[in-house]
Chain A
Amino acid sequence: MDPAERAQAARARVPRIDPYGFERPEDFDYAAYEEFFSTYLVILTKRAIKWSKLLKGSGGVRKSVTDLNRTFPDNVMFRKTADPCLQKTLYNVLLAYGLHNQDVGYCQGMNFIAGYLILITKNEEESFWLLDALVGRILPDYYSPAMLGLKTDQEVLAELVRMKLPAVAALMDGHGVLWTLLVSRWFICLFVDILPVETVLRIWDCLFNEGSKIIFRVALTLIKQHQEFILEASSVPDICDKFKQITKGDFVTECHTFMQKIFSEPGSLSMATITRLRESCRAALQAQS
């Protein structure tokens, strides 16, 4: 087939109006578009097949997906009485993910993340792939059985606070408080149920775009902004309480200003620093166990 014939054939197959409602211009290159789309279609089809296979699968994961009725009991769409009830959707996404990534399986915390993805996309399959992007690619091994990535990042945050906010680090050391007590949920739930919904979604935009470093920026900004307030604490429950309070109020509700602050307040935070700290903290943790 010569190029003219190919163009003609493509023109016959591709609709004159695109999926967004725009009429295609006169000089639209139907052949090139069809070629691009057929490549993409293969990917979409592969994903759809994978997804339908996962939904049919079962096994040990089925039993371990436990938290359906304990995910967002305060959300009307997740109530048992809701129609449709998103608990079923959540179950499908988590079960499929456990089968897809068997080294991780189901880990608590993923229920909250998948829950948000479902609320936003209103689509099981899309939620699944976004969950895979986060758990499988963007975040270090937070959710694997040893949770080493999570433990590492909590230590990395501790080191960053030591470097940038030494008075707060001294307070923690003085009371023998482990960072995991204060911030494990920040990391595991990616601020879901910690910060206001809009703020969480803005943070996630950056997370998908720039990677896991964003979590440190958010954490450091929260701590730095409320440094004086935190330093008033005089006991362990006091410190816990302060860390709860700093995730509430105008500062975090004004999500646009907040997002600007996370890029200015903590100061420079190079990926090289994070990588170096992750390496040393991980090595220290592995030596301990």
Chain B
Amino acid sequence: MNPRKKVDLKLIIVGALGVGKTSLLHQYVHKTFFEEYQTTLGASILSKIIILDDTTLKLQIWDTGGQERFRSMVSTFYKGSDGCILAFDVTDPESFEALDIWRDDVLAKIVPMEQSYPMVVLGNKIDLEDRKVPQEVAHEWCKEKDMPYFEVSAKNDINVVQAFEVLASRALLRYQGIAENHLADSIKLSPGQPRSKCC
């Protein structure tokens, strides 16, 4: 099949310090894992092209990092994103509890603010022994918020691709919805309506 439609999507990944955001991204984009990563400061962008149904998607994934005080700088990058990955570490309950704040922060920054903005939640590091956040608890929280939940391991490449692709397909649906609305609007508005005067 020769995919014809091409769409650019901007995705972001957020979550507490050290939950493995950069590891997840590198596993997804480069199929590699390193035990130790340098702290991510500010933001960096990774790109990946995937084919979904009959559409070529150019994903532009923004890796964000930094402690609390970097938040005001980093959050300016949420604007214009088409979807978000909320990541936490299943061995770190605080990182799970922080998801509420991360979610609200992202929803407050995307323009326009909308509840249908695609988000998926990733519980990372399921390969580790000392798991502290029970699967059911995470599931329940995500169900309440109507977000898909994935238990993943960046290290062992478990569920990573699936999680990113579910987000990508939801982001694409939303994108197409917006495109249709625009089309409908322009059809509705253009004929017969007096143009607002400018100049």
Which residues of A does B touch, CB under 8 Å? 64, 66-67, 69-74, 107-109, 111, 144-147, 151, 178, 180-181, 184-185, 188-189, 193, 236-237, 240
Contact = CB atoms under 8 A, between A and B. Distances in A.
A147 B37 CA distance: 24
Interface string B58-83: 00100000111110110011000000
B67 A66 contact: yes
B26 to A, nearest CB: 13
A240 B60 CA distance: 12
27 contacts: A66-B17, A66-B67, A67-B39, A69-B36, A70-B18, A70-B36, A70-B37, A70-B38, A71-B38, A72-B38, A73-B34, A73-B36, A73-B37, A107-B67, A108-B41, A108-B66, A108-B67, A144-B69, A181-B42, A184-B73, A185-B41, A185-B42, A188-B41, A189-B41, A236-B45, A237-B60, A240-B45
Given A184-B41, A184-B42, 17 more contacts: A66-B17, A70-B18, A70-B36, A70-B38, A71-B39, A73-B35, A73-B37, A107-B67, A108-B67, A108-B70, A145-B68, A185-B42, A193-B38, A236-B60, A237-B45, A237-B47, A240-B44
B128 interface: no
Given A66-B67, A108-B70, A237-B60, A178 B76 contact: yes
B43 interface: yes
Contact of A146 (B18, B38, B47, B69): B69
Contacts of B77: 178, 181
B109 to A, nearest CB: 13
Task: Please report whether the interface of chain A is mostly helix, strand, loop or mixed according to DSSP.
Answer: loop
A180 B42 contact: yes
A244 to B, nearest CB: 9
Contacts of A71: 38-39
Interface in B150-177: none
Interface residues of B, number: 24
B127 to A, nearest CB: 17
B89 to A, nearest CB: 13
Contacts of A236: 45, 60
A147 B70 contact: yes
B124 to A, nearest CB: 15
Contacts of A188: 41-42
A73 B38 contact: yes
A245 B87 CA distance: 30
A181 B69 contact: no
A243 to B, nearest CB: 10
Interface string B10-49: 0000000110000000000000001111110111110100
Contacts of B70: 108, 147
A70 B16 CA distance: 15
A66 B66 contact: no
A144 B68 CA distance: 11
A189 B41 CA distance: 9
B73 A151 contact: yes
B47 A70 contact: no
A69 B36 CA distance: 7
Contacts of B72: 147
A71 B34 CA distance: 14
A188 B39 CA distance: 12
A111 B40 CA distance: 12
